[in-house]
Amino acid sequence: MGILILLLVQNFIFGLYISYRIYYALFRQYKAYIIIPVILIINNIFTITRVLNKYLGIASPDWLIFLAHIIFGISIYILLIFILTDIIRILFKIGKKTYLSHKGQGIIVLSLSFIIFIYGYLNSHYTNITVYDIKLSKQVEKPFKIVAVSDIHIGADMSPRRLLKEVEIINNQNPDIICIAGDVIDNDIKDYTEQHIEAFKKLKAKYGVYTVFGNHEYYSGPANEITKLFTKSNFNTLVDNITYINELGIYILGRDSLRKTNSDGSERKQIEEFSSLIEDKTKPLIILDHVPKGLNDGKKINADIQISGHTHDGQFFPINLIVRHLNVLSHGIISDNGFNYIVSSGLGLWGPPMRVGTKSEIVVINVSGK
């Protein structure tokens, strides 16, 4: 609750600044006490719809949620560009030089913000294929291919139509196994429709589709109901358990989400607890863990590959710079003494439907042995 209050205060302060600057630049001929509150409400519609849904149980229609996400994305750049241009205005004033009119500044700020958003939206819908060729230090019975995705975030922006397109791209990689590293759903189990299920059922992998829970699975609804939907989608759901694929001679360990919400309050297992479940420790071991904690857990049990997501690589500038600073790895691969640590930037989106300075991706991992 404390974090929510902090976010609300922050959004109000930033929103008030944006509202006043837009009013002063473009709407000074009207009453400030009318225009500023209207702009403030529009600017905070994302937060308003989330609070109404989470705390009052008032669900907003998909079109309003999507519009709120768009406004959120545009507002971020309106705020940043207004701050930047206001700093420049102050410097010009100190230097006693002529600067743009407030109206001209407002038009430039809004225009640039819309252009950046349009670019970010189009970029977010372009799927990149990232390929890693990994040679394990263990014996591999035969080379195999993993196609991995994370953070699909089924909701307002991941329509069944778009999901079908992504499924086709995945199938075109001819995977032996498909791994989904959590956050299949965005915020509401109701968004996971029969059309989404039918799209997922078209995934083709020789030895199955494996998924784990992300933090958004716990935000979205009861865990048992989500597991049922995953089963209907032909997923093998691994939540703090392990499976062995006999045809490939590999283990897959699926960890529960590190960030559990709306759960029964139980803690996920410690990584060492899985060691006794691995009968043949000479076999390759792959970990699916939504939140990338770092290299330590995988190295403790002599794992070979970990596939994570969660970060979105920051999704858009300048958040991507912060996320990259806070994480050992926000996107990409680290190979450390036989352990290959992979973090995907994700396929879908949270919040603003845009990617600026990051990419939506499907990860292809070609695995061979010594």
- Write down the pLDDT at residue 266: 60
pLDDT tens digits for range 41-56: 999 898 888 888 777 8
Q: Which of 214, 166, 167 is nearest to 187 (CA)?
A: 214
Q: Are 239 and 213 in contact (CB under 8 A)?
A: yes
Residue 21 pLDDT more than 80?
A: yes
CA–CA separation, 296 vs 136, rounded Å? Answer: 18
Number of H helices, E strands in the chain: 11, 12
pLDDT tens digits for range 254-287: 999 876 655 555 677 889 999 888 999 999 999 9
Q: Helix 2-26 and helix 32-43: axis angle, to 10°? A: 130
Q: Look up the CATH number of domain 127-368.
A: 3.60.21.10
Q: Which of 362, 302, 331 is nearest to 145 (CA)?
A: 362
Q: Are 202 and 178 in contact (CB under 8 A)?
A: no
Which pTM does this prediction carry?
A: 0.91
Domain boundaries for CATH 3.60.21.10 within the chain: 127-368
- Give the angle 182-253-266 at the CA atoms, nearest 5°: 70
CA–CA separation, 33 vs 51, rounded Å? Answer: 25
Strands lying side by side in the sheet with 285-288: 241-245, 250-254, 285-288, 305-308, 339-343, 332-336
pLDDT tens digits for range 282-312: 999 999 999 998 899 999 999 999 999 999 9
Q: pLDDT category, 349, cuts 50, 70, 90? A: very high
pLDDT tens digits for range 88-108: 999 999 999 999 999 999 999
